[in-house]
Amino acid sequence: MDSHDTAPRGVTSVSPFDAMLRSSFLPSALVGLVCAAVFFVLGGVAGGLSALFGAALALGFFASGLLVLRTLRNLNPMAIMAAAMAVFFGQIIVLGLVLVAARRIDSLDGPATGITVAVVVVAWQIFQVRSFMRTRQFVYDPEAGDAGAGGRT
């Protein structure tokens, strides 16, 4: 193990939030672009632009949530879980309020926006969970486990 590397072999020392952001943003953005193309064909320019608005909205909200959680990553696991739930519910509430306010924009195609937001949110969650599962985060404290084994490995 290198003196600068504090993570055990095979475990990344990169923040799981950074990894989830990198692994979720691009595929979700591509899903948003596919939705925009579909709605451009089905609803013309208004449908395509509305879908792009919905994709940008969803990407912005969920990327900002991971950026907030990244700043809290040194808290204990229970506090991080509570913060993650609060951030997620806050994002959903604010996202819903923005969509309700956006209904007042006459040129916005509501179904194209709403469907795109929903599809991008589902894609984001799938890629975020997939990424987290691959970060190989410990669910226990490795030092405490070594001490409890009497120093045996």
pLDDT in tens, 123-146: 988 988 887 676 665 555 556 555
| pTM score over 0.85 | no
Share of the chain above pLDDT 90, in %: 29
Express each pLDDT in 101-116 by its tens digit. 888 888 898 899 989 9
Q: Please indicate, yes or no, if residue 12 is contained in any of the structural domains.
A: no
Q: Please indicate, yes or no, if residue 55 is contained in any of the structural domains.
A: yes
Q: Please indicate, yes or no, if residue 149 is contained in any of the structural domains.
A: no
The tally of domains found in the chain comes to 1
Q: Please indicate, yes or no, if residue 32 is contained in any of the structural domains.
A: no
User: Using an 8 Å Cβ cutoff, are 87 and 124 in contact?
Assistant: no
Q: Please indicate, yes or no, if residue 117 is contained in any of the structural domains.
A: yes
Q: Please indicate, yes or no, if residue 28 is contained in any of the structural domains.
A: no
**Residue ranges of the alpha helices (H) in the chain?**
16-71, 77-102, 110-134, 142-148
Q: Which domain holds residue 64?
A: 44-136
Q: Please indicate, yes or no, if residue 20 is contained in any of the structural domains.
A: no
Q: Please indicate, yes or no, if residue 88 is contained in any of the structural domains.
A: yes
Q: Which two tokens stand for residue 133?
A: 């599962």
Determine the angle formed by the axes of helices 77-102 and 110-134, rounding to 10 degrees.
Answer: 170
